[in-house]
Amino acid sequence: MSFQSEIVTWYLKNKRELPWRDTTDPYIIWLSEIILQQTRVEQGKPYFLKFLAHYPNVRDFANAAEEQVLKLWQGLGYYSRGRNMLFTARYVVEHYGGVFPTSYDELVKLKGVGNYTAAAISSFSSNERKAVVDGNVYRVLSRYFGVEEPINSNAGQKMFADLATELIANQEPSVYNQAMMEFGALQCKPKSPRCDECPIQIGCYAFKHKKVGLLPIKLKKVKVRKRWFNYFVGITNDEILAKQRTPGDVWQHLYDFPLIETQGEASLSDVDFLAKTQELFGKQLELKVLESKKHILTHQIIYVQFFAIDNYIVNFNLRTEIKSVKINDFKQLPHPKIIGDFVEKHID
């Protein structure tokens, strides 16, 4: 049997039941694929079900408010995906009369849809012969065929794309694509792959040359930036101080609290830090540390401190983006995970 036939046979026997697998509706597939970008199936699944329940079709999605979409997205990360989805849903209603496109060439023009996602939607919805190349496929191809070109170099991307295109010839595109990804996810895993019970062990370059742990090759490790966020929780009666995050930084468009970022851990005994807080909240300000946490992102480690503030006067001229909103309204807004967790734990 060929490499492809072995993979497909393995797939038909071992595939998971997933809620987006038994449809050819391009809208539903689009929903699942955007959610699953850089996201594990088990993490994305509840979000997929939630979004489908709220927006059963692309017109429902297009009619949503951006803050509602971001609220549903809360906790999933890479929030521009949610905003791009809303833009694309409205675009599809406007330019395609609400009929979601199924061809690769149309799909790849949509905001938030790149090579991978266009190949996935087109092959799953209309069986178009476009090979998906995601992290799973890189790994399976790299190991089996011994491709040692880095998967994140230009040369490597083209090499893997060309190889994947060759391999999908004469295959059933929808099934073959899903088989490759499922095989990578369950069998040819990044760590501790199941080589002992692998149907294509015999032809595998990496297994033969004991390079399974070395492939695929990936360049550059991200250098992590450390940051210190000092949040100020100001509550008077039934209102709380809120701030919407602006473009050019993490969590843009989401809502958090008034913030002073420092270059190291801020302390109430630090006169410099105290001066900044008084500039923003007045001389009578009383501060108290509520909680300290470490929040880890891909490119940043953020040390977060939450301060309760009393007897404060907000210098709105200094920070015009700060608003005072009803606590119940604040809870309805989309927040970064660390803020959402804080609110749930500390704010009644």
Partner DNA sequence: AAATCGGGGGT
Partner DNA sequence: ACCCCAGATTT
Which residues here bind DNA, judged by CB under 7 A? 18, 20-21, 32-33, 36-43, 75-80, 84, 111-118, 134-136, 138-139, 153-154, 178, 181-182, 184-185, 189-192, 216, 218-222, 248-252, 295-300, 336-338
Q: Least CB distance from residue 248 to DNA, whole Å?
A: 7
Instruction: Give the nearer residue to DNA in terms of CB position, either 39 or 278.
Output: 39
β-pair partners for 294: 303
Tokens of 303: 């040390």
Other beta carbons within 10 angstroms of residue 208's beta carbon come to 12
Nearest approach in angstroms of CB 41 to DNA is: 5
User: From the centroid of its chain, how far is CA 21?
Assistant: 20
Q: Return d(Cα 250, Cα 258) in angstroms, integer.
A: 15
Q: CB neighbours (10 Å) of residue 252?
A: 13
- Name the residue nearer to DNA (CB basis): 143 or 285: 143
Which CB atom, from 178 or from 277, has the smaller least distance to DNA?
178
Q: Where are the beta strands (DSSP E) in 218-265?
A: 225-236, 239-244, 255-256, 259-262
Element (H, E) at 32: helix 26-36
Q: Where are the alpha helices (DSSP H) in 63-134?
A: 66-73, 80-96, 104-107, 115-126
Instruction: Give the DSSP letter of residue 320.
Output: T
Compute the least distance from the CB of residue 188 to DNA, in Å.
9
Q: Which residue, 290 or 297, is less far from DNA as judged by CB?
A: 297
Q: Are 36 and 226 in contact (CB under 8 A)?
A: no
Neighbour-count burial for 9-37, b at 16+ CB within 10 Å, e otherwise: ebbeeeeeeeebeeeeebbbbbbbbbbbe
Nearer to DNA, 76 or 290 (CB): 76
Rounded to whole angstroms, the Cα distance separating 9 from 98 reads 37
3-state helix, strand and coil shares in percent for the chain, rounded to the nearest 5: 45, 15, 40
Distance in Å, CB of 77 to DNA, minimum:
2
The verdict on whether omega for the bond into residue 216 sits within 30 degrees of 0, i.e. cis, is: yes
At closest approach, how far in Å is the CB of 154 from DNA? 3
17 is a catalytic site residue: no
- Least separation, in Å, of the C-beta of 271 and DNA? 31
Residue 30 or 232: the one with the smaller Cβ distance to DNA is: 30
Catalytic member of 6, 33, 106, 182: 33
Task: Note the maximum CA span of the chain.
Answer: 79
- Residues annotated as catalytic are 33
